[in-house]
Structure 1
């Protein structure tokens, strides 16, 4: 089924939804017992002033918010078979489009659609893929931007592309958070009209919106107005003025009904929330609304299934029962004042099985994500090309700086400095980009993972598979120049051993950067990375040699991966039966011409290269695992 077709009808109904969050001093109620029904084939807008709880309600309906909730959510279609399911099943045929459009700027519209199709639907040929993509892009008016990079799209086009990506697997239920944010009036109108056309094909589309213009407000099929965590109106937008008038709030002529409703909800005409909640509960508008069109007068009029006079109930009648209603509501809220730790979320689904397309295997998704990662690395010149060139140039520069230190017996301290600088350089240049990159990608990852494009472990495995060879390539570019120019032993075995440890230092540091970049923001991530690098340098065995360390520092040095890097590199250079070092003729005396004496002087004569390499493997696995756990925590 393509987006041109008719989606399966699914209504959403919720009863007595409460949301309680824990503040610094106490528990705070965000949503206070709201109920409602959103029908398929309708475009529903959840509106309200800032802090009304509209986004919180949307997060509850989508499953994005999982804690502190109590209430019942029902999702039904025409088949009527009932059973209880977990919230994960409820989300299997819905999607959530967040307020911000997080797209990969280095991909074209077609490319991002193509790879998303491969992630969502299995078994399609290239021709079927292209047909589906063209169909969706034509429906959303993006066919002319098919070859345009995502970074060059306008705000409205990015919003439409975000919707197009979720239409690929044709979800019957769509949630959107503030789809018109950042758009001008014309783009906002086009966006809402597009959503309405999609809803008319049978989808249930719910979006939050802050304060639309009058024409935009009348475009919606159904509005759900919230204030102070309560619902104060739900029904047709055309009935808003009549509803407010029935509660004693007269909208001025030529005034935008949406603006007036927001003014009333904000308390500009007194404390109106309880009054409007009473009016809604009194069936002033909670009924079937029928639109009829009079062609002679060219006017639209509304009729409520309640008695017509109910729209103009005397305000004193409402006030008479207001006290009892408010008391009942407060008593009800008091009964619900329990800690979120024991609040449960019950989802009642009616026949959750629907026509779900064949999903690709996780191995197929891994290959698609791996290919995307490689393309991203290649096109972002700051990630790959410039870094490769700089590593090669820095390797040459340091090789020239420490020239002849590899064989000169009088420069063994200089040679130790060279390898320490090498380890620090490779570690720092791997750690910082990872700490800076992941926060920006976390938003894209959270959106795609929440909408079930792939499993988190599949993404993480594809990232590692693409990142490892790249980091090793950077290390090779550095090691070739620095090793040979600094006059280290020209033996292929020793070169490979040094290159292997350089690579391990790079990979371990990149894992630490990923962990910091996931847990904290970029500023704190770079700060923590710099601090950890400094601490590792102190315990690396160069600034303070192991024989000169006290017992506490020596044992703490076992926590420094730079210690294992330095020990193994110096074992590769001075160990394994290397011949005597050369003492230049201009030097009167060279104290350390025997490599074994060098290792003994710095306290590394009893170390084992492969033991240190094993500990580096342990460090790599630990930090990569911690990075995955941090990523999993952040995403969920």
Structure 2
């Protein structure tokens, strides 16, 4: 039954003291521009759309979020303690005992729920399982999970993923983008395709205003060694990133961590207003102030993965008093409950008025307190909580039907590709064109040009050495740059993929295409300097052929770096393996060894250094060309190095490089696809 305008919706309470329904007016309540904008989750109220003789003036702006009634019943979670080993880790060879280690249980039969319009706080000491439970509720658990987690009486699916906002404890943001750029790019990717580009940009501006970020909107985010916005501003940007889509379900991990009390209060007030607008809000919080504590609707208190209390926040202190635990002096309820979760019960020393903890600091005393609290919860609360979960029916048939509807990607593949390409180029241009990197390339190019200054084709050995060095340098340099690509972006990629922001193919192609102009500028300038200073063949055809070969070599090397980084996601291991591979390719490249044994000679056929060197020789010399030798004039094809590499079968060399170019990138994509989120 849906209430008419102005009509009060009856509210009843069950045996557990929970509201069996919520005010329909709370669903309708406006909260600035944050409450009424999303087009992918909700039905449109056409009466609120401005109209003229030609139809709607703008797209609908007064849609309401799909209410999400979240229930979790008997949720248990454990993780395997088996070490993550690989075949090349010799330390794990023969280790049998570690593989028999029992699984570690993180959560024990957790029961609870949150309704639209409510804000649940999960409290407990460090290691109590708060973040683990939050990840599970957000569909991000990777261990052994049992129990039922239902969203409007349905399991988690892709549609729910795009209706869920998740704010991690660590602010995963691009360091070189400004606050405005961060939120605008997120809006272009996450808002439904029915919005125009200008509407999406305006939405980002509205969130900036709502979160009080106007003064720093043109300031970069910053990082560990890059000055940017403050910690509180960064946290608000992370929250704004999720508020853009006006999620039906919003989960936050320690949103007030590291913030001063004033900023923390503003953030919680924002979350409270979002909840009053009909959203379901769940947050972990370690030790809130008394003001913040009283802003929550429900409380879930955890200790070592066990529930000590679940219910209304206002009834928490009276519940613990009923089981024999109450403070003997005025204190912040949150502080007292956190002490109980640590097994500490405070007393006042009547003689001196000082706190005495000596008897309760003992391990056995703490265990007794925690055991008493767990048993009290099971005997007094658990059955009522289960009954209230069974009776919880706060959604209509229409809302349940909307939950089952398939949700489309918020933007088209091309839009995702375009936005990710521009965003990536803006973020990485500072790294690619860093002053030290430019100095390094130009210094090497200048030294090469001077050492081989105006060399002659008669000095075939010198010129062949230069061409081989160029192939080697522009094989090493790109591979060790691209190895860092995916490992450094792993957190961002995992976060955005988990939120359903874009397709992996759009990200991968944007990353590949966006790197082309950035990665090819420096080698182009370098080859231009070296070529004309060193006196190589002075024709346009030879120059452009040499340049194209070097750029081809750069792209293949870059692809191998992407593959190694994506496959291992460990920069140290990937760099070590890349060093071994590149040194092998260099030795088998046809310059150092001319008489390779047959049993190892096949290595050169998988070396792009070999093919790059071969193509560069072909761009400089022809089969009938000669050079000055001891007997007069000798054919260049008879020179040992050239004879070993050859000036024929150029088509096979190009084909081999093409196979490597696309093959390395395809394997890198498959490695990303199998990456754990």
Asked if structure 2 preserves the Cα contact closer than 8 Å seen for 1:14 and 1:74, the reply is yes
Query: Is 2:151 the partner of 1:120?
Result: no
**Residues 7 and 138 of structure 1: CA distance in aligned 2, closer, same or farther (over 3 Å):** farther
1:5-20 correspondence to structure 2 within 5 Å: 5=36, 7-20=65-78
Deviations 1:423-445, CA, capped at 9 Å, x for gaps: 22212221222223433322222
Query: Is 2:552 the partner of 1:514?
Result: no
Asked if structure 2 preserves the Cα contact closer than 8 Å seen for 1:599 and 1:605, the reply is no
Secondary structure at 1:20's aligned position in 2?
strand
Match of 2:644 in 1: 603
Asked if structure 2 preserves the Cα contact closer than 8 Å seen for 1:572 and 1:609, the reply is no
Asked if structure 2 preserves the Cα contact closer than 8 Å seen for 1:377 and 1:384, the reply is no
- Output the aligned Cα RMSD: 2.8
**How far, CA to CA, are the matches of 1:433 and 1:414 in structure 2?**
29
Query: Is 2:464 the partner of 1:416?
Result: yes
**How far, CA to CA, are the matches of 1:192 and 1:457 in structure 2?**
37
Asked if structure 1 preserves the Cα contact closer than 8 Å seen for 2:614 and 2:647, the reply is no
Asked if structure 2 preserves the Cα contact closer than 8 Å seen for 1:21 and 1:29, the reply is yes
**Residues 403 and 65 of structure 1: CA distance in aligned 2, closer, same or farther (over 3 Å):** same
Match of 2:51 in 1: none
Tell me the TM-score normalised to structure 2 length: 0.77
Pairing partner for 1:64 from 125, 140, 143: 140
**How far, CA to CA, are the matches of 2:187 and 2:633 in structure 1?**
65
**How far, CA to CA, are the matches of 2:632 and 2:666 in structure 1?**
46
Match of 1:55 in 2: 131
Query: Is 2:426 the partner of 1:375?
Result: yes
Asked if structure 2 preserves the Cα contact closer than 8 Å seen for 1:571 and 1:608, the reply is no
Deviations 1:44-80, CA, capped at 9 Å, x for gaps: 111222222211111111111144212211112xxxx
Deviations 1:433-472, CA, capped at 9 Å, x for gaps: 2223433322222212211111111011011111123323
Match of 1:581 in 2: 627
Q: Could you tell me how far 1:247 is from its partner in structure 2? A: 2.5
Query: Is 2:34 the partner of 1:3?
Result: yes
Pairing partner for 1:524 from 563, 573, 587: 573
1:185-584 correspondence to structure 2 within 5 Å: 185-268=261-344, 269-284=366-381, 351-353=402-404, 359-378=410-429, 380=430, 382-383=432-433, 387=437, 390-408=440-458, 411-518=459-566, 519-545=568-594, 548-574=595-621, 576-577=622-623, 579-582=625-628
Asked if structure 1 preserves the Cα contact closer than 8 Å seen for 2:611 and 2:653, the reply is yes
Pairing partner for 1:109 from 170, 173, 179: 179
Asked if structure 2 preserves the Cα contact closer than 8 Å seen for 1:596 and 1:605, the reply is yes
Tell me the TM-score normalised to structure 1 length: 0.81
**Residues 399 and 472 of structure 1: CA distance in aligned 2, closer, same or farther (over 3 Å):** same
**Residues 406 and 359 of structure 1: CA distance in aligned 2, closer, same or farther (over 3 Å):** farther
Q: Could you tell me how far 1:174 is from its partner in structure 2? A: 0.7
**How far, CA to CA, are the matches of 1:30 and 1:351 in structure 2?**
34
Asked if structure 1 preserves the Cα contact closer than 8 Å seen for 2:410 and 2:501, the reply is no
**How far, CA to CA, are the matches of 2:563 and 2:649 in structure 1?**
29
**How far, CA to CA, are the matches of 1:475 and 1:284 in structure 2?**
69
**How far, CA to CA, are the matches of 2:156 and 2:122 in structure 1?**
25
Deviations 1:224-268, CA, capped at 9 Å, x for gaps: 111222212112333333222323333241233323323332234
**How far, CA to CA, are the matches of 1:108 and 1:385 in structure 2?**
21
Match of 2:79 in 1: 21
**How far, CA to CA, are the matches of 2:111 and 2:672 in structure 1?**
35
Q: Could you tell me how far 1:175 is from its partner in structure 2? A: 0.9
Asked if structure 2 preserves the Cα contact closer than 8 Å seen for 1:123 and 1:358, the reply is no
**How far, CA to CA, are the matches of 1:387 and 1:398 in structure 2?**
17
Query: Is 2:219 the partner of 1:169?
Result: no
Deviations 1:489-517, CA, capped at 9 Å, x for gaps: 12333323322221122112222222333
**Residues 117 and 614 of structure 1: CA distance in aligned 2, closer, same or farther (over 3 Å):** same
Q: Could you tell me how far 1:629 is from its partner in structure 2? A: 2.3
**Residues 165 and 511 of structure 1: CA distance in aligned 2, closer, same or farther (over 3 Å):** same
**How far, CA to CA, are the matches of 1:195 and 1:235 in structure 2?**
19
Asked if structure 1 preserves the Cα contact closer than 8 Å seen for 2:432 and 2:518, the reply is no
Secondary structure at 1:232's aligned position in 2?
strand
Aligned length: 561
